[in-house]
Amino acid sequence: MEAWIVSLLAASIPFFGICYGHQLLARAAGGQVGYHPRGEEIGTVPVHLLLDCAGDTLFRSLPQSFPVHVTHEQTVLCLPPGAKRLAANAYEPHHAFRLGDCAWGVQFHPEYNADIMRSYIMEEADDIRAAGQDVAEILGTISETPFAAETLRNFARFVEERTL
């Protein structure tokens, strides 16, 4: 199913996988994906950049820790061979990784703003409650995530520079 991702990697074509795309990238390259053993991570949560992130194209302009929007039950359980782990938090050890010099995956949603995250939570409120989580508490975590959004701009700059 992910053969097209393997062909992009082989051709060094820039790739940025977000959430499910992050998981597809990992699986296509030989990693392992499945349900997170602790259940769903949802809301606005902090992520922390790791040592392998120093100088990374997507993350070099970002602070050591910053908030991101998340909603995922599945996760990258094991990174693919050769992947560099870039960001994590206490819940998710593989929030971001890089393969080679032009493929990244992020479990978080840099494309979401606070209004989108709130709407998503409200749409999923019954399921969130059924999973034993407090919807009001999760809604209380929501904030804007400008540093997460910066990863999208950094990726766009990277692609633009490669095409000049």
Residues carrying an active site annotation: 19, 109, 111
- Of 55, 72, 89, nearest in space to 18 by CA: 72
Neighbours of 33 (CB within 10 A): 18
Strand partners, 70: 43
Kind and range of the H or E element at 114? helix 114-123
What DSSP state is assigned to residue 51? G
Structure tokens at 132: 């034993």
